[in-house]
Structure 1
């Protein structure tokens, strides 16, 4: 599913293609000096070091988070990464860039990525199946999931539980809607964002902040009331609040709505990570 995501994203604009190609050129991966016109998809192994993910080395080069600039960074088996390595992504996920400081160089690389992370609910992977779950369930799930820090999870906008694919599911007919149809809807929503932000330096809703967030992502009265109720009951942080507004703005764009309504806020809230129960 993660590998399919670049296929539904809009094509790179000429300016974006140049940015992606510049990073690849610095990393030494640009093929025959040709401009890269496809969105990057990077999937580093969970044994990757901090330098491999964020950049570094004797001759400082971009890491995976920069190689995925304007594309997808996929981290499979998220809790298996070293915690310090994961936490090194907190700053670039917030700012869209990464500062690499070494004794012989101090370099800033772009790092505007879509982070996709996948993980089992626990180490054995069978938490929801009493017949297969280990003897430590459900305690093992809490221990396993706690390997990912709260601040990093707070930077992930959509938290979706996916049921296991059974063998019998593979025999079902293909879905009626494929990547091409989804890509059309995404392109239409991106076109709305481009038109809205044409007079700014911003490109997508993910970059909305400050006055731009107030101007373009303020819900209607019913949506604002629901938002304030959720902020209290879900203990939303300031970061979570603004990220939720960006998601609601995108949901409204996908629906072709000019203003964020209660239904868009409700859907955005449904994707937020729920606070643990006492």
Structure 2
């Protein structure tokens, strides 16, 4: 099987409020990454990670084998929020697991009971940093602190330490990779975005996800925005009708396993 690893150019940029969002490059779906030519961002597709494992190996997570099934992963950034209980109710009713990239300040520390509920109901918990600071603009010690604090809180609340993180705005570089490797974290970006941070139109959010969805897709949504959670039932219904099976990010990579310091999309 040919490698699906993709390389994209990146650089550090100051946060100007609007200038760091760009259109998709080639076949990559629109990402909120600032892309130029300083360093090289190498990302690994789920199928490439699965292919690294010997043929015939059992899937490591659950009963779904994404080497055979048409898998797709729902991921939610920057929660928990006041909308999370309704989202969790929907996911429970539909028997859909999700991966939550949780934010620390004003989220984990404000809704600890929702963090526990997410873990208890079988969802994958990961880090979206403590303060949502742009990691490529920080020094190494500041990056470590942004990544260390949410992991410690999630471990305290659930007994499990996250192994995945998502950098704010998808902005990452070699320093972030190295610190993630040091802390035992793999970075997870996305291949589908509804840009729900720009609209409260639930129908539009649903439409955007369905237009971009494909096998091994990683869908980026934010449950803190009011238009997102109402769009989720329709997204689930339509994708199930198309034959998709919902999995967490670790399930999507199985029987491979996310490697610290690597970037997955």
**Greater share of strand residues, 1 or 2?**
2
Name which one, 1 or 2, has greater alpha-carbon Rg.
1
Larger relative contact order (CA 8 Å, sep ≥ 6): 2
**Greater share of helix residues, 1 or 2?**
1
